[in-house]
C-alpha cells in the first residue's frame, strides 16, 4: 500500500467537483448538513472545495447514504463518482500524528479508558458546580469512607496534592472539593497513561474502581442535599392512528457497500420505532440512543438524564410518529444515533404511507442488505479493520477475533428473520 502524504491536523485538501456535481449535491441531497452546503456555496465556481479529512469523511457518508436509496441509475453513478473522489483523497492523505497502527483490542481498550476518564472528569466538574450552588464545597463530605486498598491507590496518584495525601494518610475527614479533586486527579492520570502496557492496564482498572467509589460518595453527599422533585411522566397514553402505516429505509451512514433495511410499521411512539430499528438492523440495545429531527433531540429521559443535568430534549416515549411525520407522505429524512462511543449514525428515510394489507401482520422488514457490525467493534473504522483481520488467517489476531465475534458473515441478511425479531421486540429494561 502506498504511503499516505502527511498533513497537519485540520489542514484542508482540495475536492474537485464539476459544476454538475456541485448542483447535484446542493439540490438533490435530502439530508445534507448545512455546514457542508455553506462550504460548497461559498466556494467560487471552478475552484476546488477545501475540506479537512474529518469533514471529507463525514461528507462522504452523506453521499453514500444518498446513493444507497437512489432509484435513478444515472444519478447513482454520479454520486458514486463523487464518493470515489472523496475516497481517493482519504487514501492519499493522513493527518495522524504517528503512523503506528494499534492492534484492534489495544485501540478499543485505550479508547474505552479515555472515554471513561472524560466522563469521570465531567462528573467531578458538575459535582463542584452543584456543591458551589449549595455552598458546601469546603464542608466535610457526608457519609464518606474509603477502604484501605482504595486509600493506597489514591496515595499513589502522582498528580494528587500533598495536602490531600497527608489527610488521606492520617485518615482525616475530607471536604467536598477535596473528594472532587481526587476524582479529577484519577481522571487526568487515566488520560495520560499508556493503556497498552499491561501494568498500566491493571492500574487503570484500579483507578476506575476507586473513581466509581468517589463518584458514588459525591452523588450521595451532594444530591441528598439537593434532590430534585421526581420527574412525572404524563399519565395520558399517547393515542396511535391505527389505520396509518409508515415505511422507512434505515441506512447505516459511512458503510460502503451499504448496510440498510426497509421496514413498515404502524403508528407508534419514537421509542417503539427505536426498538424496530434495533431489531431490524441486528443491534442489541446495549447502549444509549437518540433521534435528531429538524434540530431537536428525541430520547428517553430516564436513560439520557445524567446525575446532575436533565435531558432537555423531547420525550420519545410519548411522541407519536403521526405527530411529527408529514401527513402528505412526502419523503423526509432524519437521524438515529446509537452508541455514543462507537458513534453509529443512521439515516432514517420516511418513504410515505402505503395502504394497510389485511392479510399482513405488522411490523415487517421488507428487504435489506448485509449484516450489522458487531457491538463494541470501534465504530466504522474499527469494523473495517475487524473485517480485514477475520479475512486474513495469517493475521496474529485472526483466531482471537473469531472467538470474540463468533461466526460472522458481513454479507448475510434475512428479512424474514429480521421481521421475527421486530415482532418479538426488546426486553423491558425497566423491569430487568
Q: What is the 3-state secondary structure (H, E, C) of 126-173?
A: HHHHHHHHHCCCCCECCCCCCCHHHHHHHHCCCCCCHHHHHHHHHCCC
Q: What is the pTM of this model?
A: 0.51
Q: What is the pLDDT of residue 266?
A: 95
307 confidence band (pLDDT: 50, 70, 90):
very low
Write down the mean pLDDT value for the chain: 84
Q: What is the pLDDT of residue 134?
A: 81
pLDDT digits (tens, 9 = 90+) for 119-170: 888 888 888 888 877 888 888 888 788 888 788 889 988 888 888 999 999 8
58 confidence band (pLDDT: 50, 70, 90):
confident
| Res. 430: pLDDT tops 80 | no
C-beta separation of 215 from 323 below 8 A: no
What lies within 8 Å, CB to CB, of 156 at 6+ separation is none
Q: What is the DSSP string of 26-76?
A: HHH-TT--HHHHHHHHHSPTTSPEEE-HHHHHHHHHHHHHHHHT---HHHH
Tell me which range, 61-70, 107-116, 211-220, 300-309, is most confidently predicted by mean pLDDT.
211-220
Q: What is the pLDDT of residue 283?
A: 93
pLDDT digits (tens, 9 = 90+) for 387-429: 999 999 999 989 988 888 888 999 999 999 999 999 988 876 5
More confident residue, 397 or 265: 265
Reported as type and span, the H/E element at residue 15 is strand 13-15
C-beta separation of 180 from 127 below 8 A: yes
pLDDT digits (tens, 9 = 90+) for 1-48: 567 888 888 899 999 999 999 999 898 876 677 888 899 999 998 899
More confident residue, 290 or 405: 290
Q: What is the pLDDT of residue 124?
A: 85
Dist. CA 315–CA 237, nearest whole Å: 13
> Which has the closest alpha carbon to 27: 37, 35, 17?
37
Dist. CA 192–CA 189, nearest whole Å: 5
Q: What is the DSSP letter of 355?
A: P
Q: What average pLDDT does range 221-243 have in this prediction?
A: 64
Domains and CATH numbers, the chain: 5-94 (no CATH), 104-223 (no CATH), 245-371+409-425 (3.10.290.30)
| Res. 231: pLDDT tops 70 | no
Q: What is the pLDDT of residue 17?
A: 93
Dist. CA 81–CA 223, nearest whole Å: 56
More confident residue, 122 or 101: 122
Q: What is the pLDDT of residue 102?
A: 42
Amino acid at each position: 500500500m502506498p504511503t499516505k502524504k502527511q498533513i497537519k491536523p485540520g489542514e484542508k485538501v482540495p475536492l474537485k467537483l464539476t459544476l454538475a456535481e456541485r448542483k447535484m449535491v446542493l439540490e438533490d441531497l435530502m439530508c445534507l448538513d448545512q455546514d457542508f452546503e455553506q462550504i460548497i456555496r461559498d466556494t467560487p465556481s471552478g475552484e476546488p472545495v477545501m475540506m479537512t479529512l474529518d469533514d471529507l469523511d463525514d461528507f462522504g457518508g452523506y453521499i453514500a447514504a444518498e446513493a444507497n436509496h437512489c432509484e435513478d441509475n444515472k444519478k447513482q453513478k454520479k454520486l458514486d463518482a463523487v464518493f470515489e473522489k472523496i475516497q481517493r483523497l482519504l487514501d492519499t492523505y493522513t493527518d495522524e500524528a504517528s503512523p503506528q497502527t494499534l492492534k484492534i483490542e489495544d485501540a478499543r481498550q485505550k479508547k474505552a479508558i479515555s472515554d471513561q476518564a472524560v466522563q469521570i472528569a465531567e462528573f467531578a466538574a458538575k459535582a463542584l458546580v452543584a456543591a458551589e450552588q449549595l455552598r458546601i464545597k469546603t464542608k466535610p463530605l457526608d457519609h464518606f469512607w474509603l477502604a484501605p486498598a482504595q486509600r493506597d491507590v489514591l496515595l499513589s496518584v502522582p498528580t494528587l496534592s500533598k495536602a490531600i495525601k497527608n489527610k488521606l494518610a492520617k485518615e482525616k475527614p475530607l471536604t467536598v472539593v477535596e473528594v472532587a479533586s481526587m476524582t479529577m486527579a484519577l481522571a487526568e492520570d487515566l488520560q495520560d497513561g499508556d493503556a497498552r502496557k499491561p501494568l498500566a492496564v491493571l492500574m487503570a482498572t484500579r483507578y476506575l474502581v476507586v473513581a466509581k467509589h468517589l463518584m458514588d460518595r459525591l452523588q450521595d453527599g451532594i444530591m441528598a442535599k439537593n434532590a430534585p422533585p421526581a420527574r412525572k411522566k404524563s399519565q395520558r397514553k399517547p393515542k396511535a392512528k391505527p389505520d396509518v402505516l409508515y415505511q422507512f429505509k434505515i441506512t447505516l451512514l459511512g458503510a460502503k457497500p451499504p448496510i440498510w433495511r426497509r421496514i413498515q410499521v404502524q403508528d407508534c411512539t419514537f421509542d417503539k420505532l427505536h426498538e424496530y430499528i434495533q431489531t431490524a438492523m441486528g443491534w442489541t440495545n446495549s447502549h444509549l440512543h437518540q433521534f435528531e429531527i429538524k434540530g431537536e433531540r428525541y430520547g428517553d429521559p430516564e436513560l439520557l438524564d445524567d446525575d446532575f443535568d436533565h435531558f432537555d430534549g423531547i420525550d420519545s416515549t410519548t411522541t407519536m410518529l403521526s405527530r411529527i411525520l408529514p401527513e402528505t407522505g412526502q419523503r423526509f429524512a432524519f437521524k438515529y444515533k446509537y452508541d455514543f462511543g462507537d458513534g453509529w449514525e443512521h439515516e432514517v428515510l420516511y418513504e410515505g404511507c402505503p395502504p394497510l394489507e389485511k392479510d399482513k401482520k405488522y411490523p415487517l422488514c421488507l428487504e435489506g442488505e448485509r449484516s450489522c457490525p458487531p457491538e463494541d467493534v470501534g465504530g466504522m473504522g474499527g469494523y473495517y479493520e475487524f473485517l480485514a483481520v477475520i479475512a486474513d488467517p495469517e493475521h496474529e489476531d485472526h483466531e482471537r477475533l473469531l472467538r470474540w465475534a463468533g461466526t460472522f458473515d458481513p454479507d448475510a441478511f434475512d428479512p424474514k428473520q429480521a421481521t421475527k425479531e421486530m415482532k418479538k421486540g426488546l426486553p423491558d429494561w425497566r423491569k430487568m
